[in-house]
Amino acid sequence: MAREVSTGRKALVTAVAWGIGLLIFFPILWTVLTSFKTEGEAVAPHPSFLFFDWTLENYETVNARSDYLLHFWNSVVIALGSTLVGLLIAIPAAWSMAFVPGRRTKDLLMWMLSTKMMPAVGVLVPIYLLARDTGLLDTRVGLVAVLTLVNLPIIVWMLYTYFKEIPGEILEAARMDGASLGSEILYVLTPMAVPGIASTLLLNVILAWNESFWTLNLTAANAAPLTAFIASYSSPEGLFYAKLSAASTMAIAPILILGWFSQKQLVRGLTFGAVK
């Protein structure tokens, strides 16, 4: 029989969970609130929480000055593009590591992860020169390529852990029935791993959407995504918090909405494998 949980305990756990949730959400809420303040109110020494003169002035200014749609479209192409290309490479890679591991598979996995330990700026100049010589500076194709490579270790690792959960015997059975390697991956493995692939996809779209080092350094006017849009509202001389908050709110809104609708998959994906 399941252990009885008292109502008091349930209430306490709920309250603590809500508390932590609000604490984590607070900076985002504060950004959204600030975006409706005037610049003066945004830096007031005793800022008011809700009782200020709400204004849309910052959104008007930001829309008048920047081409939001261009930046938004660049973000969509770069985030989705790099994730899809990444999956195309990572699914076969993770398949081979999970089901036909060699002597060096573990080392290979660790080596892939170790590339993430290098600070990005360490390879800025070589990558910049490569992009310059191939004509990929300030192009979406260039950014898709770079972000695919940057996020590939994470995609492979995530898929690898999901695939490990799937019994190899099922694939063997498919082979017994005469499935080729391609159809084994496409018709047997992939459908079973859909939740894992979906959460990998979502997580990587979010990572690529928020990536700011490469997107700022390899773009100028044409391929600049929303990260560059936000960065253009910081100022060394003059007040800028309210406009910066408006730009940030506009930049995070799409991904926030996407995350909200797909939270079930996200949570499932992130905790996959933790419960046997």
Partner 1 sequence: MTVTIRTLVGASLVLALTGAASAETTITVATVNNGDMIRMQRLMPDFYAQHPDIKVNWVTLEENVLRQRVTTDIASKGGQYDVLTIGNYEVPIWAKQGWLLALDNLGADYKQADLLPQVAAALTVDSKLYAVPFYAESSMLMYRTDLLEKAGLKMPENPDWDFITTAAAKMTDKAAGVYGICLRGKAGWGENMAFITTMNNTMGGSWFDMQWKPQFDGAEWKKTLSTYLDLMGKYGPPGASSNGFNENLALFQTGKCGMWIDATVAASFISDPKESKVADKVGFAPTPTRAGGSNHGNWLWSWNLGIPASTKKADAARTFVAWATSPAYLKLVAEKEGIANVPPGTRTSLYENPEYLKVAPFAKMTLTAIQSANTAHPSDKPVPYTGGQFVAIPEFQAIGTAVGQQFSAALAGKATVDQALAAAQTLTAREMTRAGYPK
Which residues contact partner 1 (rule: CB under 8 A)? 39-40, 43-45, 65, 124-125, 128-129, 132, 137-138, 216-217, 220-222, 224, 228, 231-240
The Cα–Cα gap between 266 and 205 comes to 12
Q: Tokens standing for 267?
A: 């949570």
The Cα–Cα gap between 40 and 34 comes to 11
What distances in angstroms separate CA 73 from CA 64, 69, 211, 248, one per listed residue? 18, 6, 15, 16
From the CB of 142, what's the least distance to partner 1, in Å? 12
From the CB of 116, what's the least distance to partner 1, in Å? 22
The string over 46-66, giving b where at least 16 C-beta atoms fall within 10 Å of a residue's C-beta and e elsewhere, is: eeeeeebeeeebbbeebeeeb
Q: Name the residue nearer to partner 1 (CB basis): 235 or 271.
A: 235
- Cβ contacts of 56 within 8 Å, gap of 6 or more: 36
Place of tokens 């800028």: 240
Q: Name the residue nearer to partner 1 (CB basis): 110 or 221.
A: 221
The Cα–Cα gap between 62 and 229 comes to 10
Q: Name the residue nearer to partner 1 (CB basis): 176 or 221.
A: 221
Q: Tokens standing for 110?
A: 């660790």
From the CB of 64, what's the least distance to partner 1, in Å? 9
From the CB of 61, what's the least distance to partner 1, in Å? 9
Q: Name the residue nearer to partner 1 (CB basis): 18 or 30.
A: 30
From the CB of 44, what's the least distance to partner 1, in Å? 7
Q: Name the residue nearer to partner 1 (CB basis): 191 or 236.
A: 236
